[in-house]
Amino acid sequence: MFDRIVELENIGLISYKKAWEYQQKLVQERLDNPDLPDKLLLVEHPAVYTLGTGSTLDNLKFDLNSFSGEIYRTERGGEVTFHCEGQIVVYPILNLHYYQKDLHWYLRQLEEVIIQVLAEYNLKSHRVEGLTGVWIGDAKIAAIGIKVKRWITMHGFALNVCCDLSGFEKIIPCGIKGKFVTTISHHNRNINIIEVKKMLVKIFAEVFSVSIK
């Protein structure tokens, strides 16, 4: 049994704005009371674009003035990305004082969770030197963007499971030209997103050496 307990909230479909506000609330609570347990939020979002704090609008292929969809600039790192149903978005709210106060370590841990989950479905994935995220071949299957405030984490990663990728065609994903995006279902048509969520929780617990309740 591991000492650190992480409370799981498998929320399901929720608007990006509500999930964002909930994360901010959880972070503030832990800044006020560092003894509170960590959280692991699993969500899916209706179609939405998000931009990192320093991201450029040059990576948008549409005119913001005539865009009728949802788009948010957030405090996470990274460039523009797209969320939609069929994509698992994971928001760990962790107090890194109990792990390692090292952002590079944390990012590599998140990548390791994704790589091990994909391996469970016989998919060989990899990191790309100098970039954050996980790839299968030249196609990105998971994007990562985090914010850490006094070593409390928020935001996280998005794993493309069985989502419609057409929304990515309107942006340069993560600001990386000449790369594509892919899904688990592209390689495994029988994939079940509920099972992937369960596997993800199991692997997260192993990689971070925590107990999830």
Q: Any idea which residues carry the catalytic annotation?
A: 174
CA–CA distance from 191 to each of 13, 117, 118, 168 (Å)? 19, 12, 11, 21
Q: What's the CA gap between 133 and 116, in Å, rounded?
A: 13
How many whole angstroms from its chain centre is CA 171? 18
Specify whether the CB–CB gap between 62 and 70 falls below 8 A. no
Query: Strand ranges (DSSP E) for 16-86?
Result: 38-44, 48-51, 71-73, 81-83
